[in-house]
Amino acid sequence: MGAQWKAKHKDLAANAKGRLFGKLAKEIMVAARSGADPASNARLRLVVEQARKVSMPKDTLDRAIKKGAGLTGEAVHFEHVIYEGFAPHQVPVMVECLTDNVNRTAPEMRVLFRKGQLGTSGSVSWDFDHVGMIEAEPSRADADAEVAAIEAGAQDFEAAGEGGATVFLTDPTDLDLVSRALPAQGFTVLSAKLGYKPRNPVDPASLSAEHLEEVEVFLAAIDANDDVQNVFVGLAG
């Protein structure tokens, strides 16, 4: 499943796109606290580029920037919270939230984790590496992921699966630098963000089809929560 879990059934598309826009708007608002100009705010530039690639409406994007930068007079405060624990069958999970009310989010997470196990801080994160994750696809026929990773300064890469994108892994501080360098190496950046990569992912082959389905249902319920930004799961593939 990779370091960042993604729902298999993206056909539930209208709701999925609405949730995606909502999550991106939050990230834009948080990033815009450091300035409304993407040219001088690397974090904002990366999120804005991602929003444009998924066709977020321009007025929605601009409104999020202005709101986050305090240009609308509205007070915006989102707290970054990470919940750690296990999906069913001891699959480690890290859930990244942006919330304006931790007193709402915390009990909701406790309920969602009832079919798994909610852990304490550090109970799962020790088994994940905090890294920059850049999804990119080749823009020319001779593009080579290994050469691109070396030349752009990435630490490693995960080759694209069938119909998928290559994921370039970076030191967290090098995320913007590498994402800027990849186009010259023949890769178009689709998204760039900080995330968590499992060190010892569980092999899906060790789980039955029924157990895998239970993990999927659990992850889908977590991902559907409005305060959840990203779900990182220790499941290989």
Residue 206 is predicted with a pLDDT of: 93
Residue 11 is predicted with a pLDDT of: 46
Structure tokens at 152: 């752009």
Could you please state the CATH topology (level 3) that the domain comprising 127-198 is classified under.
Alpha-Beta Plaits (3.30.70)
128 pairs with which residues across the strands?
A: 198
Q: Which residues of the chain, if any, have pLDDT below 70?
A: 1-15, 161-163
Task: Enumerate the domain spans of the chain.
Answer: 13-68, 79-126+202-233, 127-198
Count of beta carbons in the 10 Å neighbourhood of residue 102: 13
CATH 3.30.70.980 fits 79-126+202-233, yes or no: yes
Please name the helix (run of DSSP H) or strand (run of DSSP E) that holds residue 177, with its range, or none.
Answer: helix 175-181
Residue 10 is predicted with a pLDDT of: 45
Contact at 8 Å (CB) between 78 and 29?
Answer: yes
Residue 165 is predicted with a pLDDT of: 86
Give the predicted TM-score (pTM) of the model: 0.84
**DSSP character for 26?**
H
Question: Distance (Å, rounded) from C-alpha 89 to C-alpha 93?
Answer: 11
Residue 194 is predicted with a pLDDT of: 92
Residue 191 is predicted with a pLDDT of: 85
Mean pLDDT of the chain: 90
The residue assigned the tokens 């799962």 is 124
CATH topology identical between 13-68 and 79-126+202-233: no
Residue 237 is predicted with a pLDDT of: 72
**Which of these, 45, 25, 31, lies nearest to 191 by C-alpha position?**
45
- What's CA 171's distance to the chain center, in Å? 16
Domain 13-68, CATH number (from 1.10.10.200, 1.50.10.10, 1.10.290.10, 1.20.120.80): 1.10.10.200
